[in-house]
Structure 1
Amino acid sequence: MHCFFGLKPVVSISELMKIVKAKSSKYINDHALTKQRFEWQEGYGVFSYSQRDVDIIFRYVQNQQEHHQHKTFREEYLELLEKFKISYDTQYIFHELK
């Protein structure tokens, strides 16, 4: 899942993600949108972009379903980690469901 937020510097990303995950999980489970109880995986990735890129990123998020027909989310996530020169340990990278 991709989320695109505009945040003020005083907003804690970890607190924001805690709220997003909690409220969305409750909504999904309260409305039985999945066959099994829904739970988010641990962790998340956050990338920042400049104001000039907002339109490009917004369009990308709008079209993520189409985009991921050609590249898995995991593949793309690893590419972003490389692009932003973020070091990582593969044991902490999620595994896609089959």
Structure 2
Amino acid sequence: MSHSKSKIWVHAVISTKGRQPLIQPIIRPTVHSELRNQLIAMNCCVDCIGGVADHVHLLFLLNPQKSIADVVKQIKGGSSHAFNQTNLTAAHFAWQIGYGAFSVSESHVKRVRAYILSQKEHHRNVTFMDEYHRFMIHYGLPDDAIG
């Protein structure tokens, strides 16, 4: 095989600092657009972005030259810098330090996409913390959330 091939779907979840409801509906398109731009700048192919006031879900193909940690660091840092430079929110905008990143098999991309794009409806009945706990159980990870 003369060329390297890679196709790794990532479902990432990032939360606002302290889970503050900073991403109000009026600015949500701007937030999602900036996150998309940051991912594109990292040469990641973006499938979809969705979320609510305190967190965002992203589905993208990982650039094989980058680590997930590098990509998330860049999109969080670059976007929060852009938001604060333009005073997008009245309060200082910041993302939570941690993040979630989960691999998605090709056969589940459609289902994950539908889930991400239906965040508004989903969170009418499920809190972010309940969602977080479910992810930890589903992926067999320690549930170390505070509050």
Aligned to 2:131: 76
Partners of 1:28 and 1:34 within 8 A in 2: yes
Runs of 4+ in 1 over 3 A off after TM superposition: none
Which structure 2 residue ranges, 5 or more long, are not aligned? Answer: 1-55
Distance in 1, Cα, partners of 2:143 & 2:125: 24
TM-score by length of structure 2 reads 0.57
Q: Is 1:30 aligned with 2:85?
A: yes
Distance in 2 separating the partners of 1:94 and 1:22 = 23
Task: Say which structure is richer in helix.
Answer: 1
State the superposition RMSD in angstroms: 1.5
Structure 1 residue identity aligned to 2:83: I
Paired with 2:59 and 2:111, the residues of 1 have a C-alpha distance of: 11
2:107 aligned to 34, 52, 71, which one? 52
**Greater Cα shift, 62-71 or 8-17:** 8-17
Residue pair 1:3, 1:61 contacting (<8 A) in 2 also: yes
Query: More strand by proportion, 1 or 2?
Result: 2
Aligned partners of 1:10 and 1:39: how far apart in 2? Answer: 27
Map Cα deviations across residues 27-56 of structure 1 (whole Å, 9 max, x no partner).
Answer: 221222211111111111111110011111
The number of equivalent residue pairs is 92
Give 1:61's aligned residue: 116
Give the corresponding residue for 2:68. 13
Deviation (angstroms), 1:9: 4.3
